[in-house]
Structure 1
């Protein structure tokens, strides 16, 4: 059965379609009878526009789904991007270490992907906020303090300001200067600028100035000109630092998102998302949870409150998507919060899992049903506090799997059927030399359009 796969045993806008939809669907007639047939796609065209574009909510991290974001805008801009704020790797880790607060890297990354690219100034702002400092710590500090902040950027003379008009320049400059001031106010903490993101610095300055993560997102969204219908939502709206922990099936507890997914042995270096030679976990992950970062008991489990806007969006969107990415450190941190599972299980809309194309440190040996089980356990909080755990079945949380063609994750169809999941769609894929098999963005967008189009055509209520 699928549940046993996660147990203690450890084994190794409108769309114009110019060509047929290159996907195949597996229809599960029963757990023993299967058939395969081609999909006929619902086509959306400018000549017969749908008066209401579909609304989606996507649970994701800040990297794997980024490659799909711009393609998805061709289907709809009514997307709520729900992101965790517990990342403690890369330059985000240094900001959190010195200045505290939630991690902003994933949010900044998604905002930039959603930002406007229709004008030269929009591209210039995107380039500025996407710029990273050199990897060498001394060179990074020199560029940041001597060139970017104290002199050239403060006067708007650095080459990165080329094409940025005065209103944008003065707004961005003000919060970079505020960030710099906050760093200088902490002389006992030596801030490492290595590989630092200018966008992260701007975002952190805004968050500290407003004392509000939501206000910082609002400002960043306006500066980067994100479509007004696109929402970037921290799953937890907080001004405090959050620490992610995980418990393995052998009882080991690991503290920190980066230590779980991409351990760096304490060295200050960019987090490498590509497939690498990181050591395997000693046992499979049983669950993830939030940990206290203050007080004497640093391993104490805490239960932060979910962002209420996330719950509002979950209650009304036309489709819920669990994106590809690091299963336990990018997706599950948004699912283990009270209220998320209750609302998702009550919805009758498409609930779609985008299956990873490649294995990673967190999911070595997993099959498709193992992913489903992990998501179900997270939403049910199966291994957490028994007073708040749920008993919902996998099919109440996931009713469709989108699978990249020739992906590495085994499709154990009989186990999926036993979980109540009978809708599996194979989508065209491409090979990325860094991470392996990934979805072809255009084919993925078309597959989502078909699923949501069928739901909206049968939904009696039209917004």
Structure 2
């Protein structure tokens, strides 16, 4: 309440124009919730940024417009391109299927269920109950769905596919593997486009496990990414058969990270380029990459790839013989 009213200490140091712009969409989001009395909404552990973004999306009825506003308000550099992997106003819900057949509906229930408790959520794997079985796959379901019969297959944003076909490097970032990374990979067209590119495809390995990845090694992360891009466990008519090395050809590992680095298993998947990068310790999330060292490592991978491309013989001239 104090945040919406502009009286909370979080507003300290925020200029009036910025404060009023953000508050307007927080108020709009709150009003939209009040208009749905049959649905309950718990603000506990919510992100103010997410509330602002949701208010903007509902107001504009456009995900692209909401991203544009958020980018300007948060001063994201103009040269950075933020794209929604799905561009739709339909309400979708993330679901996951466990290896024991259990279906879990909703991102929070997968990664950090609150069990109705109004307390701060800690996504550390030791802070909440373990999943009854490891995750087999993630998929999208209708907002009212609760089982595999309600699975839906949204299309990937064509602009995302276009950008993937032009970029010099693809990076699978740190984060929640199954609720942040994989949902962007299971869409049709994403796997096909990534597999077709001969560029660095880099996995930034997490520094620690969370509820979703307990027991996974580095090769387990690669398998999860490969299965998602291949849509291995979904509709067999929509699945692909690409190899792990077609999707990941380099792995950057934070120094001192907790994820087991099973180099032999990675090599069996065709992944030989594994580089340890200097890390720092974050009090909230643990081991993360040192930003400067990470940028240097990524730049080095891209430069190495570019140099290799330049060293390749030109097929139009390599067989030309000079005749005097």
Shorter-chain TM-score range: 0.7 to 0.9
In 2, Cα distance between equivalents of 1:271 and 1:309: 35
- Inter-partner Cα distance in structure 1 for 2:29 and 2:161: 32
* Higher-RCO chain (CA-CA 8 Å, sequence separation at least 6): 1
* In 2: Cα distance, 1:282 partner to 1:346 partner: 37
Worse-matched range after superposition: 418-427 or 449-458: 449-458
CA separation of 1:256/1:183 partners in 2, compared to 1, >3 Å: closer, same or farther?
closer
The aligned counterpart of 1:255 is: 105
**Cα offset, 1:290, TM superposition:** 1.0
Which of 276, 279, 283 lines up with 2:129 in the alignment?
279
Contact 2:103/2:147 (<8 A) preserved: no
Which residue in the other structure is 1:407 paired with?
257
Instruction: Determine the structure 2 residue equivalent to 1:324.
Output: 174
Change (3 A) 1:175 1:408: closer
Shift of 1:338: 0.4
| 2:227 match | 377
1:267 aligned partner: 117
1:334 aligns with 2:184: yes
Which blocks of at least 5 consecutive residues in structure 1 are unaligned?
Answer: 1-140
Separation of aligned partners in 2, 1:192 and 1:246: 22
Structure 2: unaligned runs, 5 residues or longer: 311-324
Corresponding residue for 1:386?
Answer: 236
Give the superposition deviation at 1:431. Answer: 3.2
Give yes or no for the alignment of 1:164 onto 2:15. yes
**1:307-318 equivalences in 2 (<5 Å):** 307-318=157-168
- Decide whether the 8 Å contact of 1:275 with 1:434 is kept in 2: no
List aligned pairs for 1:428-443, cutoff 5 A.
428-443=278-293
Provide the rounded CA distance (Å) in 2 between the counterparts of 1:433 and 1:160.
Answer: 24
Question: Aligned ranges for residues 195-206 of structure 1 at < 5 Å?
Answer: 196-206=46-56
What is the aligned-residue RMSD (CA, Å)?
A: 2.6
Question: Are the aligned partners of 2:173 and 2:204 in contact in 1 as well (CA < 8 Å)?
Answer: yes
- How far, CA to CA, are the matches of 2:223 and 2:101 in structure 1? 19
What's 1:246 paired with? 96
TM-score, with length taken from structure 2: 0.85
Secondary structure of 1:387's partner?
helix
Q: Is the 8 A contact 2:124 2:210 kept in 1?
A: no
Residue 160 and residue 227 in structure 1: after superposition, are their counterparts in 2 closer, same or farther (change >3 A)? same
**Secondary structure of 2:187's aligned partner:** coil
Q: Secondary structure at the match of 1:430?
A: strand
Give the distance between the partners of 1:270 and 1:452, measured in 2 at CA.
Answer: 40
Aligned partners of 1:217 and 1:232 also within 8 Å: yes
| Residues paired across the two proteins, number | 310
Is 1:227 aligned with 2:77? yes
User: Aligned partners of 1:338, 1:332: CA distance in 2, in Å?
Assistant: 13
